[in-house]
Every structure is written in structure tokens, then in C-alpha cells.
Amino acid sequence: MSSKEIVKLLRANTGERDMHSVFSDFCSMSAAALRNRFDPRGHQAREEAYEQTRERYSEAQWGRFAEALALVAIELATEPRDVLGEVYMQLEIASRDQGQFFTPYSVCQLMAAMQVPNAAEQLKTLPFLTVYEPACGAGAMVIAVAQELASQGIDCATQLHVTADDLSLTAVHMSYIQLSLLEIPAVVNHRNSLTLEHFDAWSTAAHALGGWSAKLAARSEELRSA
């Protein structure tokens, strides 16, 4: 199996809507479905937006969206990487004029290996590691860092927290889907990291269920008191 199967399903859903819209709708509905499983804040608004989007598609098309999300989950479990970034590029809907070009995952892996070469040493004096990605795209760099840490024996569910920003809502949804399915504690902000204009924050289930808001607040207080 590969991302090509996901691409095939999404392409089959074009017709009245172009490929870019189909992909954006797939990501928005998938992200909302994942978030609404555990987050009551804004639940009704997301549910209504989900239903409005779903109404644009037939039952057969909606079924293909569900199958595509299942395949994304399988791909991430089988070989953790930037699956949605691959899909996005294979669909040939990237707008290079707007900088929407996702870095190849192999490059992200190389960069991750250079950025966190001695994580275990750092954790001798820190309760956990934090990563900030100001332009996360589909989350490739974050995924690569998490995989590098895992290869060093780090438990990313308890020893890593990610904060990621992106101005593109579709990118936020892509990153949120993948970090959620990989069970990485993260907050993905729909935000302009340059102007700090903030629109929404998407917390993964691993963040919420792991009590990371309290952990981060306690750590911030420790740093202020130091």
C-alpha cells in the first residue's frame, strides 16, 4: 500500500469541485472528526461546518473520504512520515507562488537528526522536550523529529510537546490530522507567526488526555521562578 491509493480515492471525488477544494474539504472534515471525539469546546460549530461540507458530496464520495482517512492512519502506523504532504504533492495542487511546497521527508529526517542528536542527555535536566515549528505545513519536520527521538528511546507521548503554527488553514488541518494519528502531544495553531494574529488552536487528543496544559504551565512557572 502507498499514498498513491489515497491519491486515487481523492481524485475520484472530483467532479463539480476541483481537486484543491476536494483535498481541503477532506482535510477539514477529517480534522473536525478527530477533534470532536474528545474536545467539547466549539464542538457544535465544528459539527455544523462538517455537515455543511459533507452535503456537497454524494454518499459514495463521502465513503471514499472515510476510506482515504483510514488509509492515512494505516500508512502512518506502518511507516511514520509526512503522508499527507506526499498526497498533496502527488495531486499537483501546490501553489509554489504562495510558498506551498512541502520539503521532502528525507530532508526533514536529515535535519531532525542534526537538531536532536543528544536528547537523552537533555532529559537528564529537563522534565520534557519542547519543539516549536513556526510554519508547520503538513507537519513533516515535527514528525521527523518525533521519529528521531523515538529512535533514541524517547517516549514522545510523555517526553515531548509540540507547538506548531501555520497561516494556511488546510496546512493546520493536515498537521493536526497526522500529529493526532501519531499520538503526539501538540497544539497546532492557525496563526500568522510573523504578526501573531491568532485564529484558532487545535489540540491533539494526546495533548488533552496527557494533561499537557498543566505540565506546560508548571514548567513556565518554574522558569519564571528560577
User: What pLDDT is attached to residue 103?
Assistant: 80
User: What pLDDT is attached to residue 16?
Assistant: 85
CA-to-CA distance for 6 and 2, rounded, in angstroms?
8
User: To the nearest whole number, what is the mean pLDDT of the chain?
Assistant: 93
In tens, the pLDDT along 188-222 reads: 999 998 898 999 999 999 999 999 999 999 999 98
In tens, the pLDDT along 50-83 reads: 999 999 999 999 999 999 999 999 999 999 999 9
User: What pLDDT is attached to residue 35?
Assistant: 97
Going from the C-alpha of 29 to that of each of 116, 148, 184, 211, the distances in angstroms are 34, 30, 20, 26
Name which of 3, 26, 38, 29 is nearest 208 in CA terms: 38
CA-to-CA distance for 212 and 208, rounded, in angstroms?
6
Name which of 107, 105, 160 is nearest 131 in CA terms: 160
pLDDT of 97 strictly over 50: no
User: What pLDDT is attached to residue 172?
Assistant: 98
R_g over Cα of the chain: 18
pLDDT of 40 strictly over 80: yes
Q: Which residue has the cell 475520484?
A: 12
CA-to-CA distance for 187 and 81, rounded, in angstroms?
19
User: What pLDDT is attached to residue 102?
Assistant: 74
Q: Please tell me the pTM assigned to this model.
A: 0.94
User: What pLDDT is attached to residue 205?
Assistant: 98
- pLDDT bucket at 32, cuts 50 / 70 / 90: very high
In tens, the pLDDT along 104-138 reads: 888 999 999 888 888 999 999 999 999 999 999 99
User: What pLDDT is attached to residue 117?
Assistant: 85
pLDDT of 101 strictly over 80: no
User: What pLDDT is attached to residue 51?
Assistant: 96
pLDDT of 186 strictly over 90: yes
Please spell the DSSP secondary structure of 23-87, one letter per residue: HHHHHHHHHHHHHTTT--TTHHHHHHHHHHHHTTS-HHHHHHHHHHHHHHHHHHHHS-S-HHHHH
Q: Which three cell numbers stand for residue 39?
A: 474536545
What three-state secondary structure class fits 2? coil
The arithmetic mean of pLDDT across residues 152-175, rounded, is 96
Going from the C-alpha of 115 to that of each of 110, 119, 221, the distances in angstroms are 9, 9, 26
User: What pLDDT is attached to residue 98?
Assistant: 52
CA-to-CA distance for 133 and 3, rounded, in angstroms?
24
The arithmetic mean of pLDDT across residues 92-108, rounded, is 72
pLDDT of 96 strictly over 60: no
